[in-house]
Amino acid sequence: MLSSLVKKIVSLGIALGLVSGCYSTKMMDFTYEQLDTVKTNQQELLQQVNELSRLYEAEREERLRTQAELSLAMKELREALEILSYRMDDNAQLFLSQTTAAAMARRASAADSSTAGTDSVGTILPDSAGGGPPTISDDEAGRLFQASYMDLTLGNYDLSVQGFKNYIVRFPDAPNAPEAHYYLGESYYSLSRYLEAVAEYQSVIREYPHARLVPACYLKSGFCYQNLEERQLAEKAFRDLISRYPRSEEAEQARVALQEQGG
């Protein structure tokens, strides 16, 4: 009987040991799984942190580069404005120093020329357009117009574009506003910027129908359309000019242009 009891106790101990060992193994397996999950989450978080750091650095570099480019552009703009201001002052002084005799000599020379107020490609010269140079007052608006007009006559077309655009913005109701639009168109035309040129000529025709430069604007619109290879629009501009101003010098040039175009 004692032997049987000992056997039972031993069997129970063995059973408890087996159960305990199995439980410990499961707990260890579970713990390892949790550790693996934590490690995986940690790696993902590190990757996200690294990506955010990379994006932040890239954005910071882009921001610094943009700021540097903007600073350089502002500096170049200030320098360009200073140069333009100096040129405008110089041109104004030069224009004011022109004598009446010199202006008359230029007009006489233009009258004797076989081109009758146009150059070899049909560009109406500033002194001959509309019967002579514009009459300008001696105030701030007048000085700006004079400087821009002088840039145009000297071939400084980029400067004359800026000058006349500035004049139109600052003095939209000035008496010389039609001339400013026309000479801005002339500046664009000389730069082969024909779309912008025709827009200015059409502004004169549309907004100042009684201005002295309207016939010239019709003619130059036609030349612009020719250069843009818009044959029908060029023909319409020439025919409108001939219809509205049949006895004008510009109408004669339009007739010649139509003959050369085959219209």
Residue 44: what pLDDT?
79
Section 130-134 average pLDDT: 54
Section 219-241 average pLDDT: 96
Residue 74: what pLDDT?
63
Is the predicted pLDDT of residue 48 greater than 70, yes or no?
A: yes
- Closest to 134 measured CA to CA, from 144, 146, 123: 146
Q: Are 89 and 146 in contact (CB under 8 A)?
A: no
Residue 84: what pLDDT?
53
Residue 226: what pLDDT?
95
The fold adopted by the segment(s) 100-261 is 1.25.40
More confident residue, 38 or 209: 209
Is the predicted pLDDT of residue 109 greater than 50, yes or no?
A: no
Confidence of residue 55 (pLDDT cuts 50, 70, 90): confident
Residue 182: what pLDDT?
97
Confidence of residue 248 (pLDDT cuts 50, 70, 90): very high
Start-to-end C-alpha separation, the chain: 138
Burial state string for 163-189 with b = 16 or more CB within 10 A and e = fewer than 16: bbbbbbeebeebebbbbbbbbbbbbbb
Residue 140: what pLDDT?
86
Confidence of residue 47 (pLDDT cuts 50, 70, 90): confident
Q: What is the CA radius of gyration of the chain?
A: 42
Domain locations along the chain: 1-83, 100-261
User: What pTM was computed for the model?
Assistant: 0.53
